[in-house]
Structure 1
Amino acid sequence: MPIILSIETSTKACSAAIHQDGKLLSVSELYNEKSSSGMLTTLIEHVVKTASLKLQEVDAIAVAKGPGSYTGLRIGVSTAKGLCFTLEKPLIAINTLEAMAFSIFDLKSDAQNPVTNLQSSIVNLLCPMLDARRMEVYCAVYKADSLEVIEPTQAKIIDETSFADLLEKHQIIFFGDGAEKCRTTLGANPNAVFLNHTIYPSAKSIGALANGAFEQQQFENVADFEPFYLKEFVGTTPKKNSI
């Protein structure tokens, strides 16, 4: 019955959670328009205390590996690696988009869950989206009933033709902080479904998925592990003064 501490810092939302044998013991989530990841240590201390545990009792550290915010991912992964080294615990890395899809998949028995309200005669799909630049998003497509990957994680520039083949035969639920800016472009298609609220990745889903990874001994090399940025960071170069 592994005890797993999970960390999620891929977006402006930041969270930590404790799971035991896949069951959620405690979670702490924070959202701030500027940045929440600076509060990560406080959130970790809170969930450990709430679960009536000590850090030394944790069997593994799980972290959202990305894609997502460069700064957020660096903070989350650095914190997770530091804990692994200090506590001599294994590291588990979970894809951020997969965790977002799982958050909806895990609620499929809930009458309020959007998956249950779609047409049952066709195969429905989930498309978590994280905001990138302009009309670009980080996204992936999963089957809503099994989380089977239909389209792998990618950086995608959204236009009127995006997902056209899939939308011909499937209803797709688009969600995440990158979905809203795609509503105008894709919303005219009757098979494109947009949630009325933003779903952020959470340590709750990271920990649930990490339990399966722990059972299969799917651990990362702590020394060499790096976040899954998906794209190289592009900074701005200051303009030189003209002479």
Structure 2
Amino acid sequence: MNNYILNIETATKNCSVSIAKNGKTIICNQIAEEGYSHAERLHVFIEESIAAAGINFKDLVAVAVSQGPGSYTGLRIGVSAAKGLCYALGIPLIAVDTLQALAAQAKVDGGLIIPMLDARRMEVYSAVFSANLEQKRSILAEVITEESFQELEEKLYFVGDCADKCKEVLTKFNFVFLEDIKYPSANEMSALSYEKFLKEDFVDVAYFEPYYLKDFMITTSKK
């Protein structure tokens, strides 16, 4: 049986949509732009991806969405689209961790993968995963300093859009920046969402909310 899942990733500047068959990506449309064109691009990408895959919306068994952390606006757009499709089609919603999908792009044999997404100044959203994507440390919103990750002796592979601002302070010999891997993609969501589908690990379409880490983002204006 062919299980087709639509994957939606809008947590960062990358607007990304994929169609997966039994956990394998068969089509992926994406674009990363400074202006965050998600509102204009997302539904076009969804329709184009369905057509390119040679299927209809009724062939989908689930919709998966990147759950954050990330851009508040981007996450809202992606989750709203995913919920609307699930309601209309009567299919389950799957939430995929944004940082795990980002870490999945690092194809390494050992060590630890540290996905980081830019928040502001020296602040990032980060987590720690093994080479086989087992989560070793929970997601944190943290300020990066020269002391960050010093306790980890394994080779650390940093991925995400923070290389430019972080590599000047994260200089330990075992730190490696994979600078070509900047944004999470719906391509890597395919295997992750299918694993959740097989386990029937679904979220409530009515009540699911993205993982904003929004308390971290609240600032007090200085007068």
Moved more, 23-32 or 217-226: 23-32
What runs of 5+ residues in structure 2 fail to find an aligned partner? Answer: none
Q: Helix, strand or coil: the match of 1:184?
A: coil
Q: Helix, strand or coil: the match of 1:197?
A: coil
In the other structure, the counterpart of 1:119 is none
Give the distance between the partners of 2:124 and 2:163, measured in 1 at CA: 8
In the other structure, the counterpart of 2:146 is 160
In the other structure, the counterpart of 2:207 is 224
Q: Helix, strand or coil: the match of 2:104?
A: helix
Give the distance between the partners of 2:111 and 2:163, measured in 1 at CA: 17
Deviation, structure 1 residue 149 = 1.5
The number of aligned residues is 220
Deviation, structure 1 residue 238 = 11
Give the distance between the partners of 1:198 and 1:53, measured in 2 at CA: 30
Give the distance between the partners of 1:165 and 1:67, measured in 2 at CA: 24
In the other structure, the counterpart of 1:120 is none
Deviation, structure 1 residue 199 = 2.5
The superposition leaves residues 116-152 of structure 1 with CA deviations (integer Å, 9 ceiling, x where unpaired) of: 5xxxxxx5110010000110100001111x2222211
Give the distance between the partners of 1:235 and 1:89, measured in 2 at CA: 39
Summarize the alignment of residues 164-203 of structure 1 with structure 2, pairs less than 5 Å apart: 164-166=150-152, 169-187=153-171, 189-203=172-186
What runs of 5+ residues in structure 1 fail to find an aligned partner? Answer: 109-114, 117-122
Q: Could you tell me whether the CA contact under 8 Å between 1:124 and 1:171 is conserved in 2?
A: yes
1:86/1:235 CA distance change after superposition, 3 Å:
farther
Q: Which runs of 4+ in 1 moved over 6 A?
A: 235-239
In the other structure, the counterpart of 2:197 is 214
Which residue type is aligned with residue 219 of structure 1?
A: F
Q: Could you tell me whether the CA contact under 8 Å between 2:96 and 2:189 is conserved in 1?
A: yes
Which residue type is aligned with residue 148 of structure 1?
A: E
Larger Rg: 1
Q: RMSD between aligned alpha carbons?
A: 1.7
1:152/1:238 CA distance change after superposition, 3 Å:
closer
How high is the sequence identity, in percent, across the aligned residues?
46
In the other structure, the counterpart of 1:72 is 74
Q: Helix, strand or coil: the match of 2:183?
A: coil
Give the distance between the partners of 1:74 and 1:215, measured in 2 at CA: 26
